[in-house]
Amino acid sequence: MKKCSKCKLDKPKSEFCKDVGKKDGLCSHCKSCTYKRGKEYSKTSTNKKYRRKYHLKKKYGITLEDYDKILESQNGKCAICEIDNPGNKGRFCVDHDHETGKNRGLICDDCNVGLGRFKDSTNILTKAIEYLVKNT
């Protein structure tokens, strides 16, 4: 048994993560308290903004300012369907070529899912258009 330094409860050692830097080889907080602390931290607006900035830079090579400029150049609308409601947690998705990594624009969640389902294939999209025209 070990006492959590946060909730002050005695818990089985299996309720603590490993920490080789500690004398007993276990973290001082139980898994439950560690999980709660992480959830609270991830809700902070400072952390959300940092994560967003990091994600844009790491995955797409753009800054938050670049994203805003692209959105402004698209008049705050999806580059495909021109809707101004992005879905996807209130943000437009950065559309990019999965082969080259080149960014194409900002699109709403529905268009992003649609392109993904059609595997970004102009051939399949053309066939889908032909199908709709023929069967409408």
Going by pLDDT thresholds of 50, 70 and 90, the confidence category of residue 35 is very high
Interior/surface letters 113-127, b for 16+ CB within 10 angstroms, e for the rest: eebeeeeeeeeeeee
Q: Give the model confidence (pLDDT) of 95-110 as tens digits.
A: 999 889 999 999 999 9
H or E segment at 93? Answer: strand 93-96
Q: What is the fold of 61-134?
A: His-Me finger endonuclease fold (3.40.1800)
The whole-number pLDDT of residue 11 equals 97
Domain boundaries, the chain: 2-43, 61-134
Alpha helix stretches (DSSP H) within the chain: 31-43, 45-55, 64-73, 109-117, 122-134
Q: What tokens appear for 136 in the block?
A: 């409408």
Q: Check if the beta carbon of residue 107 is closer than 8 Å to that of residue 93.
A: yes
- Is pTM beyond 0.85? Reply is no
Q: Give the model confidence (pLDDT) of 41-76 as tens digits.
A: 777 767 778 888 999 999 999 999 999 999 999 999
The whole-number pLDDT of residue 46 equals 75
How many whole angstroms from its chain centre is CA 56? Answer: 9
